[in-house]
Amino acid sequence: MSFSAQIIDQHVGGLVERLGERLRTEVGVRDESARLKSAAFVVLVAQALLDLDDDAALDGVVEGGGDFGIDALYVGALDEVEIPIVLIQGKYRQDLKGDAQFPESGIEKMITALGTLFDPNRAYRVNPRLESRVEEIRAMIGEGAIPRVRVVLCNNGLKWNQAGQLRLENTGFHDMVGWEYAGPDDLIALMRRRKDVETQIRLTGRAVVEDYDFMRAMVGRLSVLELARLFETHGDALLERNIRRYLGLGGRINERIAQTLRDPAQRDKFYFYNNGITIVCSKFSYNGLAERDWIVRVNGLQIVNGGQTSKTIQQVKAEVGDDIGTACVLVRLYEVPGNDDDLVQRITEATNSQNPVDLRDLRSNDPRQKDLADALALLGFTYRAQRSRVPVEAGEITSAVAAEAVLAVWRHRPHAARFQVKEHFGSYYDLIFSPDLNGAQVVMAVLLLRWAENKRKRPPADAPVFLQYGSRHVAMLMGMALLDDLGEPLAGLTHRTLAKARALLETRADLYFNNALARLQGALTLLYGDAEPSLQRLSATFRRADLVAVLRGGRQLSV
């Protein structure tokens, strides 16, 4: 038996125990041990690779009959004109020998799916859960968006053979699709708690060192081969404090980096095109008697800016080989006190401020976030301001969920809550987390959204099709009705009225929900008459603000 496969099987078993009921009821996985384990394995991969919580990971699982070989599909927020899409196909064997290669047939299915599902002109037939997501993507493609697809093929055995590799290289998808493999060793490496990285790096040419109070900084030049070597040796352990996620070579920035490295005429200019990488560490040492080409010993090395550059270099080296060695990159190495997490956070924020970062982590030290944490603690809830791979427990509210719920329910922007996630902690931050937002309002917004989302995930037999796209709108309408019954404006929802508000939701939730569906149906009839809109049209409608204007019927926006 493979030791790694056994470890993964233990994790999968834990997920079945924790999420088995939800896999059956929300996803529709058949109540069979093998089926549940296969689905749980896909959830495990999604959580490890994409840093998702239970809810987000489960929501993307679409495996079952008519899934086109796709076990999970995740759609990110629209990035200018690109739609980030992640597809996962898992092959989970029960024998745990770990000697089975990922099958070529699975690769063939995924290639066929990519050539069919994201072409709006091609007919297809899949299960309803997958269809609703595909039609949402097709609607955005029809409006000019470009899909950027990351395909993850995973199993508890070995990577595909040479024949499978040739099929991938000859797909004709060019740079729109990136292919990745995740096996037991890869997953264990991602899940394992990291130890401090102690290593050495060899600089090229001269470098400059400056001393500060209890800190030092070194600025120099690093060969891209040396950077690739670091990642080959230490992997993603170098990125534990990096707040950005590697997006794959499909992204425009990453692809430009790759193109420069692939072009022999441009490689030696790479230093001038790239912003470089920023490294923090607890200590560095070097031979200051040497004039140049220092070998620097580094303790606690972490790359806090430039992670995508580093990963892209690693991938291009695998394609091109040592020929990319003429390229160099600027490196900034900061020695900071090892226990000063706040300083590291500030360095990370400053060096990433001009790049597409996860702003949620940058805002985690904002006084408003800390005030909310204190307010929610007094109400019996735990507020998690930063991302974490630890599953969210009962009584916990993450800042991401709070932002989405408040924007949808109380700020009356359900379309932005779902489709402009990147702006929740950016342009929408002051609107969402305004000074008058209190803990009780956060709690009720989250409870309302959770209630509506549970109905979307486990829809009643007579639920309308639009519920798959409109749960945030439903939550908004339910919130309006609750405030009416509470007899208070939003400002009147405080810790003093929270118990009454929760009691209203417990006793009248079904009434609020059914009335919300009726109002939504009426609004859609006003927009489209008696004609039944297609899934693509429904998806597009719920992304627009005009539907909200019809629903609100002249109400003023809450600010």
Condensed to tens digits (0 to 9), the pLDDT of residues 164-185 reads 999 998 888 877 888 999 999 9
Residues 392 and 434 both lie in one domain: yes
Residues 477 and 348 both lie in one domain: no
Q: Is residue 91 part of a domain?
A: yes
Out of 171-175, 371-375, 472-476, 538-542, least confident range: 171-175
pLDDT band at 51 (very low <50, low <70, confident <90, very high): confident
Single out the residue in 173, 191, 209 at which a domain terminates: 191
Asked if the model's pLDDT at residue 64 lies above 80, the reply is no
Q: What is the pLDDT of residue 300?
A: 87
Q: What is the pLDDT of residues 341-363, one digit of tens each?
A: 666 666 665 665 544 445 666 67
pTM value > 0.85: no
Which of the pair, 481 or 261, is modelled with greater confidence? 481
Mean of per-residue pLDDT scores for the chain: 87
Q: What is the CATH number of the domain that holds 167?
A: 3.40.91
Q: What is the pLDDT of residues 313-341, one digit of tens each?
A: 888 888 888 888 889 999 999 998 765 66
Asked if the model's pLDDT at residue 44 lies above 90, the reply is yes
Residues 456 and 327 both lie in one domain: no
Element (H, E) at 75: strand 72-75
Asked if the model's pLDDT at residue 260 lies above 80, the reply is yes
The encoded tokens of residue 210 equal 């400056």
Residues 338 and 232 both lie in one domain: yes
Q: What is the pLDDT of residue 2?
A: 80
Q: How many CA atoms lie within 13 A of 532 on its CB side?
A: 3
Which of the pair, 251 or 219, is modelled with greater confidence? 219
Residues 514 and 409 both lie in one domain: yes
Residues 324 and 349 both lie in one domain: yes
Q: What is the pLDDT of residue 244?
A: 40
Residues 52 and 127 both lie in one domain: yes
Task: Please give the distance of CA 507 from its chain centroid, rounded to a whole number.
Answer: 35
Residues 79 and 183 both lie in one domain: yes
Query: Of the spans 94-98, 423-427, 518-522, which averages the highest pLDDT?
Result: 518-522
Task: Please give the distance of CA 154 from its chain centroid, rounded to a whole number.
Answer: 18
Residues 89 and 160 both lie in one domain: yes
Handedness of CA 416, 417, 421, 425 (dihedral sign): positive
Range 42-53 average pLDDT: 89
Under a CB-based contact definition with an 8 Å cutoff, are residues 253 and 316 in contact? no
Pairing of strands 198-202, 295-299: antiparallel
Residues 326 and 459 both lie in one domain: no
Q: What is the pLDDT of residue 303?
A: 86
Q: Is residue 557 part of a domain?
A: no
Q: What is the pLDDT of residues 199-228, one digit of tens each?
A: 999 999 999 999 887 789 999 999 999 998
Q: Is residue 559 part of a domain?
A: no
DSSP characters over 324-391:
GGG-EEEEEEEE--TT-HHHHHHHHHHHHTTS---HHHHTTTSHHHHHHHHHHHHTT-EEE-S--SSP
Q: What is the pLDDT of residues 417-444, one digit of tens each?
A: 998 888 898 889 999 999 999 999 999 9
Say what percent of the chain tops pLDDT 90: 55
- For residue 470, the enclosing domain spans 362-552
- Residue 304, helix vs strand vs coil: strand
Q: What is the pLDDT of residue 344?
A: 65
Element (H, E) at 147: strand 146-155
Residues 134 and 245 both lie in one domain: no
Q: Is residue 107 part of a domain?
A: yes
Please give the Cα distance from 408 to 474 (Å, whole number): 9
Domain count, the chain: 3
Single out the residue in 164, 191, 218 at which a domain terminates: 191
